[in-house]
Amino acid sequence: MSVLKIENLSYTYNEGLPGETKALDNINLDIEEGSFVGIIGHTGSGKSTLISHLNGLTKPQTGRILLDGKDIWKDYSDIRQVRFNVGLVFQYPEYQLFEETCYKDIAFGPKNMGLSDEEVDKRVKMAARFCGVSDEMLAGSPFDLSGGQKRRVAIAGIIAMMPKVLVLDEPCAGLDPEGRELILSQVKNYHQQTGSTVILVSHSMEDIANYADKVIVMRQGQIYKFAPTEEVFQDAENLAKMGLGIPDVTKVFLKLREMGLDIPTDVYTIPYAVKTIIKYKKAKEEAKNA
Ligand code: ADP
Ligand code: MG
């Protein structure tokens, strides 16, 4: 079932002015409820502009956004209802922390929803658990935390609203591999345990390959491809030509194929690579023994 639908969405910055930029060019998308969708594309391809439409932060110039089949600008009396349902984590969300304790920061969203103190408290603790925010961190100031910790507090603030759709714009930007892994596994946990839909914008093909079940590849304000992850990676050669950093393991497989090995090129995760190599070895041995 579709949770978010984007119809004929176009958007131009500075329309009719010098510096006019067409950021989105007739986007059509149907996001299935409960899916984990990755969005990848060059800087400037329109990723942030696209997702800023999903929670009503930006109003479409042309086209419509439907949440559960309802036009978010027509069928909702209050756009805030849309914002509670589609939780958007901005790039560098830690810059938006402002309260004196992490607890208060995480409570901000659910409080705005008009929930009781008791429910807000439950939500804060639930979100803190998902994001690895300890009781000690909750009681302390966000400004005493490391970059990665702050980011997790900011994400918890969105998760505390229990949005049906969680949208994250490059949540790992600027973090070390350990910090990246932590955030992505927490998001995955949230996705699996709540059945919510996740839309993850990332620069890293590796991250997308490991977490998303469907991938949107954007190019110059358009959808170049929207397909299941394995299908997108069957096109690895073209993605590489487009300059999108394909996963290292995919590069290795492309190279091996170039060298004449009869192996698939759509290998994009380490576990799948291992399986493929074992299968290849077995086939070789069987051919030798036959
Ligand atoms: P991405 O997130 O993929 O890097 P963006 O959605 O940020 O892409 O940008 C899409 C295009 O719109 C780019 O050409 C960018 O320069 C332009 N753009 C983005 N934000 C603005 C803005 N506030 N004013 C003018 N142009 C913008
Ligand atoms: Mg962006």
Q: What is the predicted pLDDT for the residue at 32?
A: 98
User: Does residue 48 or residue 287 have the better pLDDT?
Assistant: 48
DSSP state of 246: -
Q: Which two tokens stand for residue 227?
A: 């397909």
3-state secondary structure of 284: helix
13: Cβ below 6 Å to ligand 1? yes
Task: State mean pLDDT over 231-242.
Answer: 83
pLDDT of 246 higher than 80: no
Q: What is the predicted pLDDT for the residue at 97?
A: 93
Q: What is the predicted pLDDT for the residue at 268?
A: 81
Distance between the two ends of the chain, CA-based, in angstroms? 49
Confidence of residue 15 (pLDDT cuts 50, 70, 90): very high
Percent of the chain with pLDDT over 90: 73
Q: What is the predicted pLDDT for the residue at 162?
A: 97
pLDDT of 273 higher than 90: no
45: Cβ below 6 Å to ligand 1? yes
Q: What is the predicted pLDDT for the residue at 86?
A: 98
pTM above 0.95, yes or no: no
Chain position carrying tokens 């998001």:
187
Among 31-35, 112-116, 248-252, the minimum mean pLDDT is found in 248-252
CA dist 62 and 54 (Å) reads 14
Q: Could you tell me the distance, in angstroms and rounded to a whole number, from the CA of residue 41 to the centre of ligand 2? A: 9
Confidence of residue 267 (pLDDT cuts 50, 70, 90): confident
Task: State mean pLDDT over 267-275.
Answer: 85
Q: What is the mean pLDDT of the chain?
A: 93
Chain position carrying tokens 């008009």:
114
244: Cβ below 6 Å to ligand 1? no
Contact 205, 227 (CB under 8 A): no
Listed in sequence order, the residues at least 6 apart from 45 whose beta carbon sits closer than 8 Å to its beta carbon are 218, 219, 220, 221
Task: State mean pLDDT over 56-67.
Answer: 97
265: Cβ below 6 Å to ligand 1? no
Contact 235, 225 (CB under 8 A): yes
Q: What is the pLDDT of residues 86-110, one digit of tens each?
A: 999 999 999 999 999 999 999 999 9
User: Does residue 37 or residue 175 have the better pLDDT?
Assistant: 37
Q: Which two tokens stand for residue 143?
A: 């400004």
Task: State mean pLDDT over 234-252.
Answer: 82
Q: What is the predicted pLDDT for the residue at 235?
A: 80
Task: State mean pLDDT over 205-230.
Answer: 93
Q: What is the predicted pLDDT for the residue at 167?
A: 98
Q: DSSP H helical segments within the chain, as ranges?
A: 47-54, 79-85, 102-112, 117-130, 135-139, 147-159, 177-194, 205-211, 229-233, 236-241, 248-258, 270-289
Ligand 1 atom nearest to CA at 24: 10
Best residue among 12, 49, 92 to mutate for probing ligand 1's pocket (most ligand atoms within 8 Å of CB) is: 49
Which contiguous run of DSSP H or E holds residue 27?
strand 21-32
Tell me which residue has its CA closest to atom 24 in ligand 1: 13
Contact 138, 97 (CB under 8 A): no
Tell me which residue has its CA closest to atom 26 in ligand 1: 13
Ligand 1 atom nearest to CA at 221: 10
Percent of the chain with pLDDT over 70: 100
Task: State mean pLDDT over 283-289.
Answer: 87
Contact 65, 54 (CB under 8 A): yes
Q: What is the pLDDT of residues 116-166, one digit of tens each?
A: 999 999 999 999 999 999 999 999 999 999 999 999 999 999 999 999 999
pLDDT of 245 higher than 80: no
